[in-house]
Structure 1
Amino acid sequence: MSRAESAGDQVAIRGKIAARYDSDVEREVLGWFKQLLNLDIPAGMNNVQRALHSGVDLVKLALEVQKRVQNCPPAAKKMRLKPNTLSAPFKQMENIQVFLNFCEKMGMSKTSLFQTVDLYEGRNMAQFLTAVQQLGSECQRYGFDGPVIGSRPTEKNIREFTEEQLKAGNAIIGLQAGTNKCASQSGMAMGGVRHIADIKADDLCREGTGVIGLQSGSNKGASQSGMSMGAVRHVSDIRADEMDKDGQGVIGLQAGSNKGASQAGMSMGAVRHVSDIRADEMDKDGQGVIGLQAGSNKGASQSGMAMGSVRHVSDIRADDMSKDGQGVIGLQAGSNKGASQSGMSMGSVRHVSDIKSGQGSAEGQAIIGLQAGSNKGATQSGMSMGANRMVSDIKTGKMDQSSHGVTSLQYGSTDGASQSGMSFGGARNISQK
């Protein structure tokens, strides 16, 4: 009983399978049958299917391969290959199956074979041609002494490396890192990054060494006029007009106003407040009064107190010092055993542990260090003894001669006061004790 005709999707599927049929592979397979069996098969997919669908010629092909293979696999060599010439369909399909079994025992994988119906009913003739061609490749593996078809079979190529050969590969740069063939370190800075693909930079033109790139801005129409040494250069200049000469003697509003003010009564170096601190003259009647902040001196005397010492609200009692201890220096002051005042200036601080400093070189005593700035082109004109030397001078006008005899308000008032009972250099308090 014949199968029903294909319909629907089966027609499209059979069309795609038939499109895989290769005439070149057909020519090669039919030529192999001609050389081994002297069998002439007309070209064409339908002609090949009708000539070989009985399986008789396939069994004959397998028998010829079995005879000519020198190192035939034992399983394939033991097979009894005899074609069945009956015309019954199942007998013809048995012949096809015998051929498939022989191909499998020759080492072909099942994925390289075809189904019985692919040849008997012509369902996949392309796969049939591929299987016969693959059998020709397997024959070459076992030493076939006749003509062969198909590609040369792959062989195992086992390589064994010694330990020294394996370690030699540690000094080879892999292809993933690129190649350094025909490369040098010419023009590369110390520590520069090595790119896998070199970035080519042509030699810098000498004319361009004096050109500032656009990334750095433009200096067209710009100069260094008015810029101090080491100042930052902005890409876009900050314009500052020259100061008007008339405004050089004007104090800005940020510094307050000195209208109606004078330096009368101010000592050299005293702080000038934006808003003056007003202190009225002290009442003469109150000059002999001690404020409550100073405590009370009722029933107290100045016995045993040094000139200029602080008067506490509650007296701190100190017994008379023993005459024997007046020549002793307390432990709090450290010890001066084995010490002298050699090399110490008047009024300098005495440290518990002396700070040793070597004698200064005679040549360096006349040198002013860089930390002190430079006095080139400068004079001490107008500077008082012991005043600080500024890097940039602060200009002050001459003091009004009429104010030389005036004591500033910060020092208090001397009205009704005298120096009676005061030692030379003692502090003068605003409120008397």
Structure 2
Amino acid sequence: MNRATKSGLAAEAHAKVMSKYSEDHAREALAWIKAVSGDDIKVDGDPDNFYEILKDGTLLCKVINTLKPGAIKKIQTSKMAFKCMENINAFVEGAKQCGVPPEETFQTVDLWEKQNLNSVVICIQSLGRKAGNFNQPTIGPKESEKNVRNFSEEQLRASEGIVNLQYGSNKGATQSGMSFGNTRHM
């Protein structure tokens, strides 16, 4: 990472983003990756450890190929920046193919330049919830199921005759006793 240190507003914004990082969630994500990939990695939620394990993207690609064999055709083994970023991008695309919604993925620079490790954790957790669909261990809360409700036309029209209190009735409330803007009488 050859990025200039942030200062001023940029530093504050980055500090706020980094404050959302949870070592417990990162530890859980690494434990899940270890279980799925079979690799012997250090399961520690420390941001530096999390970054060092995942930064080249090879382990992430291995996880995708465990869930969906052959999804990532070529995992780059070179440590050159653009090759590592290619791996990270392949993981993100693979995660989307596994059902991770786009709003729960991350941008390559979030991991490669250590910009937003929390978004990486969120993506791995989301992928971990989908892993049950691929006969792999899961992490996090069980995903909710669709619960569609169908109302008849009669049921929908029944609500039209009801006047909700939010529609303007104030049940006799007044502004007496409010002193905003009034002069003080001592």
Query: Given the two structures, how large is their TM-score scaled by the length of structure 1?
Result: 0.34
Runs of 4+ in 1 over 4 A off after TM superposition: 160-163
* Structure 2 equivalent of residue 30 of structure 1: 30
Equivalent-residue separation in structure 2 for 1:27 and 1:13 (angstroms): 25
Give unmatched runs, 5+ long, in structure 1. Answer: 68-77, 178-195, 197-433
Query: Structure 2: how far apart are the matches of 1:123 and 1:144?
Result: 30
Q: Match for residue 41 of structure 2?
A: 40
**Per-residue CA distance 1:1-39 (angstroms, 9 max, x = gap):** 822222332222221111101122112101101211233
Q: For residue 115 of structure 1, report the CA deviation from its aligned partner.
A: 1.2
In the alignment, the residues of structure 1 paired with residue 43 and residue 131 of structure 2 have an alpha-carbon distance, to the nearest angstrom, of 25
Q: 1:18/1:162 Cα in 2 relative to 1: closer, same or farther (>3 Å)?
A: closer
> Cα gap change, 1:162/1:3 in structure 2, threshold over 3 Å: closer, same or farther?
closer
Q: Which residue of 1 aligns with 2:146?
A: 156
Tell me the distance in 1 between the aligned counterparts of 2:84 and 2:128: 23
Partner Cα separation in structure 2 for residue 49 and residue 101 of structure 1: 20
> Within 1, Cα distance between the matches of 2:49 and 2:111?
12
- Residue among 61, 64, 68 paired with 1:62: 64
Task: Give runs of aligned pairs for residues 353-368 of structure 1, distance below 5 A.
Answer: none
What is the rounded CA distance, in whole Å, between the counterparts of 1:80 and 1:89 in structure 2?
Answer: 18
The one-letter code of the counterpart of 1:20 is K
Matched residues, number: 163
**CA distance, structure 2, for counterparts of residue 2 and residue 160 of structure 1:** 56
The answer (yes or no) to whether the contact 1:59–1:82 under 8 Å persists in 2 is no
Distance 2:136 2:19 in 1: 32
Structure number with higher helix proportion: 2
Mapping for residues 61-80 of structure 1, pairs under 5 Å: 61-67=63-69, 79-80=71-72
Q: Are residues 144 and 79 of structure 1, via their aligned partners in 2, closer, same or farther at CA, if it must alter by over 3 Å?
A: closer
What is the correspondence of 1:373-392 to structure 2 with a 5 Å cutoff? none
After TM superposition, the structure 1 = structure 2 runs for residues 305-344 of structure 1, keeping only pairs within 5 Å, are: none
Say yes or no: does 1:49 pair with 2:41.
no
Classify the secondary structure of the residue corresponding to 1:146: coil
Q: Quote the offset at 1:84 in angstroms.
A: 0.9
**Match of residue 364 from structure 1:** none
| Equivalent-residue separation in structure 1 for 2:90 and 2:63 (angstroms) | 11
When normalised by structure 2's length, the TM-score is: 0.74
Hey, what's the Cα distance between the residues in 2 that align with 1:79 and 1:120? 21
Find the counterpart in structure 1 of residue 83 from structure 2.
Answer: 91
Verify: 1:21 aligned to 2:12, yes or no: no
Match of 1:90, SS state, is: helix
Q: 2:123 aligns with which of 131, 137, 144?
A: 131
Measured in 1, the distance between the counterparts of 2:84 and 2:14 equals: 23
Contact kept, 8 Å, 1:137 with 1:149, in 2: the verdict is yes
The structure whose RCO (Cα within 8 Å, separation 6+) is larger is 2
Q: Structure 2: any 5+ residue segments left out of the alignment?
A: 166-170, 172-186
Structure 1 distance, partners of 2:148, 2:9, is 49
**In structure 2, how many angstroms separate the alpha carbons of the residues matched to 1:10 and 1:40?**
33
**Over residues 239-295 of structure 1, what are the superposed CA-to-partner deviations in whole Å (9 max), with x where a residue is unaligned?**
xxxxxxxxxxxxxxxxxxxxxxxxxxxxxxxxxxxxxxxxxxxxxxxxxxxxxxxxx
Cα 1:35–1:42 change in 2 (3 A) is closer
Change (3 A) 1:9 1:147: same
TM-superposed CA distance for 1:42, in Å, is: 4.4
Give the 5 Å matches for 1:383-422.
none
Structure 1 residues 158 and 40, CA gap change in structure 2 (3 angstroms): same
Contact 2:64 / 2:71 at 8 angstroms: preserved in 1? Answer: no
1:117 aligned partner: 109
Cα drift, residue 154 of structure 1: 2.8
CA change 1:114–1:79 in 2 (3 A) is: same
| Contact in 2 for aligned 1:36/1:64 (Cα 8 Å) | yes
Q: Secondary structure at the match of 1:24?
A: helix
Superimposed CA distance per residue, residues 298-351 of structure 1 (whole angstroms, 9 cap, x where no aligned partner): xxxxxxxxxxxxxxxxxxxxxxxxxxxxxxxxxxxxxxxxxxxxxxxxxxxxxx
Alpha-carbon spacing, 1:13–1:36, altered in 2? closer, same or farther (3 Å) = same
1:54–1:93: 8 Å Cα contact kept in structure 2? yes
Quick one: distance in 2 between partners of 1:107 and 1:146? 14
Cα distance in 1, alignment partners of residues 136 and 14 from structure 2:
36
Match for residue 318 of structure 1? none
Would the aligned equivalents of 1:56 and 1:85 in 2 still touch at CA under 8 Å? yes
3-state SS of 1:103 partner = helix
Q: Are residues 3 and 162 of structure 1, via their aligned partners in 2, closer, same or farther at CA, if it must alter by over 3 Å?
A: closer
Determine the C-alpha separation between the residues in 1 that align with 2:22 and 2:29: 11
Give identity over the alignment, percent: 30
Distance 2:106 2:53 in 1: 17
